[in-house]
Amino acid sequence: QVQLIESGGGLVQAGGSLRLSCGASGRTFRSYNMGWFRQAPGKEREFVAAISRSGSSTYYADSVKGRFTISRDNPKNTVDLQMNSLKPEDTAVYYCAADPARPWPDVRTIEYAYWGQGTQVTVSS
């Protein structure tokens, strides 16, 4: 069992930067692959980025590659998403998710075991 809480969302102008953070409860954070997803109004929830248990491997959606960076700090039980060069199409609710059991490549799909409540990111043009 793990509870996730996102923070760092807000309003930013196009071209700006924002850093999201996800804090996890419990003592088993290091056993979870972690992911970030987002959902814009009227759209399906989509994969953004994922990071492996040790932080040695990452995946990024093509739409954010080169602009976003996922990282984790296992001693602090946190996973962050640094978002640079933000575009209006990045506007969405961003969710942190934890996956305790699936093979690494599966972290690009939405079937995660645990989810945070989401944090709103709005990018103005």
DSSP one-letter string for 82-107: EE-S--GGG-EEEEEEEESSS-GGGG
Residue where the block lists tokens 């419990």: 26
Tens digit of each residue's pLDDT (9 = 90 or more) over 58-100? 999 999 999 999 999 999 999 999 999 999 999 999 999 999 9
CA 53 – CA 42 distance, rounded (Å): 32
CA 9 – CA 31 distance, rounded (Å): 26
Confidence of residue 56 (pLDDT cuts 50, 70, 90): very high
The single-letter DSSP state of residue 51 is: E
